[in-house]
DNA sequence: CCAGAATACGGAGACTGTCTCCGTTTTAGC
DNA sequence: GCTAAAACGGAGACAGTCTCCGTATTCTGG
């Protein structure tokens, strides 16, 4: 991002207050909570919130500041652990699901943004996509992946599992589902 | 459903008008359109709509009157065609996705209702679940399915793929994704 | 066929959430 | 300090959900 000139002190203060409050409220009520409530609890007017974050996704994006680093780190860890393909994929996919379901409702938003370059969180999807490709390429190079598998589609499948799990009333275990996908990806 | 007494003539008339209009508006704008708009276009007051259909899902459910029959028929067809496991699953899963994405936004609602007996469309999920189990049981009996696969989870995975596809801005082909899942389900 | 009871209608409006506009306040730079 | 630029914040427009209750329609039995 172009630096522009530094933010004015009050702007910076409010920006930070909003982000901090959003983190709390998103955790409490999920990503679809009222934005005006966040503004109220942050002690700013709604106008201030919307000036800093024109859309809900822009706010979600701001919360994911250090998220990208964690994603890349986990992908790298899965690769360097140098385990059998099945274990590598399971580890990575579990991380994937965990990252994408940080807040309730986030998974569906991320999935929807995967093919929407105009979305503020499209960049995050790209990062996720690159991390995912990193893992798959590694396995492919070792011939442990079935040919013709598109990394983007793998991301969609795992994203779908995460979304469904996230929107379910009950607490589901994603691993059996991930195992099916893993079995569908590895060569035997 | 217990018959109760027959509906009053005007009630029946309005009920039918609302359902017919909802079919049109859902097709135009998806399952998340304004319910008041449906009422307006059906020429009834909002009160009337909400009396007949207390929730949006109750209305969705009413639209799926003949849906259940089609689902069961397709599952049966996939079984009786007696094709190899891969082809059977692909055929069935493609039908599954088609049925669950009848209207934009429907897939996510169906998935969320899968584990929510209080949802008006829970019954539809049950039907879908039984149809799906029917197909999987058939393959399992022939030893063409990997052991330990839970039909409910398969439904969630396919539902997830459908949801993600449905919410995507671009027009995706689900088949490559379904193929991964199929590969993960069949014995080689 | 008509009167009365039962049922259903419908729309005004309460409520909640989104988002904007613009008069007022705060900050930064000189 | 003074001024211009930047940011604030909250009133309020707008849209969607959903309810309440006075009014209208339908059904029933005499």
State yes or no: pLDDT of A169 exceeds 90: yes
Closest CA to A119 of A110, A128, A127: A110
Residues B49 and B89 in one domain: no
Distance from CA of B51 to the nearest CA of A (A): 26
State yes or no: pLDDT of B145 exceeds 70: yes
pLDDT of the residue at A1: 47
Residues B30 and B89 in one domain: no
Tens digit of pLDDT for each residue in A98-143?
Answer: 999 999 999 999 999 999 999 999 999 999 999 999 999 999 999 9
* Residue A143 belongs to some domain of the structure: yes
By percentage, how much of chain A surpasses pLDDT 90? Answer: 96
Range(s) of the domain holding residue A34: 9-63
Distance from CA of B142 to the nearest CA of A (A): 19
E strand spans, chain B: none
- By Cβ distance, the residue of A160, A176, A180 closest to B164 is A160
With residue A27 as reference, give the H or E element that holds it.
helix A9-29
Residues B13 and B36 in one domain: yes
Residues B55 and B88 in one domain: no
Enumerate residues 6+ apart whose C-beta is below 8 A from A137. A151
Which of the four pLDDT bands, split at 50, 70 and 90, describes residue A4?
A: confident
Which of the four pLDDT bands, split at 50, 70 and 90, describes residue B2?
A: low
Task: Give residue for tokens 């899965």.
Answer: A78
pLDDT of the residue at A3: 63
- Three-state DSSP at A163 gives helix
Identify the CATH number of the domain in which residue B112 sits.
Answer: 1.10.357.10
pLDDT of the residue at B6: 87
* Residue B4 belongs to some domain of the structure: no
- B81 CA to C12 C1' in angstroms comes to 58
Nucleotide closest to B32 measured between CA and C1': D16
**Are residues B113 and B121 in contact, defined by beta-carbon separation less than 8 angstroms?**
yes
Task: Compute the mean pLDDT over every residue in chain B, rounded to the nearest whole number.
Answer: 97
Chain B positions in Cβ-Cβ contact with residue A149 (cut-off 8 Å): 180
* Residue B1 belongs to some domain of the structure: no
* Residue A3 belongs to some domain of the structure: no
Domain boundary among the residues B63, B78, B108 is at: B63
Task: Compute the mean pLDDT over every residue in chain A, rounded to the nearest whole number.
Answer: 97
Tens digit of pLDDT for each residue in B99-128?
Answer: 999 999 999 999 999 999 999 999 999 999
Tens digit of pLDDT for each residue in A28-48?
Answer: 999 999 999 999 999 999 999
- A60 CA to D18 C1' in angstroms comes to 30
* Residue A1 belongs to some domain of the structure: no
Is the Cβ pair B177, A156 closer than 8 Å? yes
Domain boundary among the residues B17, B44, B63 is at: B63
* Residue A86 belongs to some domain of the structure: yes
pLDDT of the residue at A2: 53
* Residue B178 belongs to some domain of the structure: yes
Closest CA to A120 of A69, A36, A53: A53
**Are residues B25 and B38 in contact, defined by beta-carbon separation less than 8 angstroms?**
yes
Residues B134 and B180 in one domain: yes
By percentage, how much of chain B surpasses pLDDT 70? Answer: 98
Distance in angstroms (rounded) separating the CA atoms of residues A88 and A85:
5
Task: Report the number of distinct structural domains present in chain B.
Answer: 2
pLDDT of the residue at B110: 98
């Amino acid at each position: 991002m172009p630096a522009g000139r530094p933010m004015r002190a009050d702007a910076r203060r409010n920006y930070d207050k909003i982000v901090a409050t959003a983190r709390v409220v998103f955790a409490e009520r999920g990503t679809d909570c009222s934005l005006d409530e966040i503004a109220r609890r942050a002690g700013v007017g709604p106008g201030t919130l919307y000036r800093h974050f024109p859309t809900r996704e822009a706010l979600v994006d701001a919360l994911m500041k250090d998220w990208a680093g964690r994603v890349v780190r986990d992908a790298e860890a899965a690769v360097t652990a140098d385990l059998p393909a099945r274990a590598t994929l399971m580890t990575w996919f579990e991380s994937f699901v965990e990252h994408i379901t940080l807040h309730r409702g986030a998974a569906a938003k991320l999935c929807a943004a995967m093919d929407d370059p105009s979305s503020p969180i499209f960049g995050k999807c790209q990062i996720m996509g690159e991390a995912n490709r990193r893992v798959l390429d590694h396995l492919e190079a070792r011939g442990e992946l079935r040919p013709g598998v598109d990394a983007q589609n793998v991301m969609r499948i795992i994203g779908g599992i995460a979304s469904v799990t996230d929107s379910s009333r009950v607490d589901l275990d994603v691993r059996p589902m991930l195992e099916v996908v893993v079995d569908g990806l590895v060569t035997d």
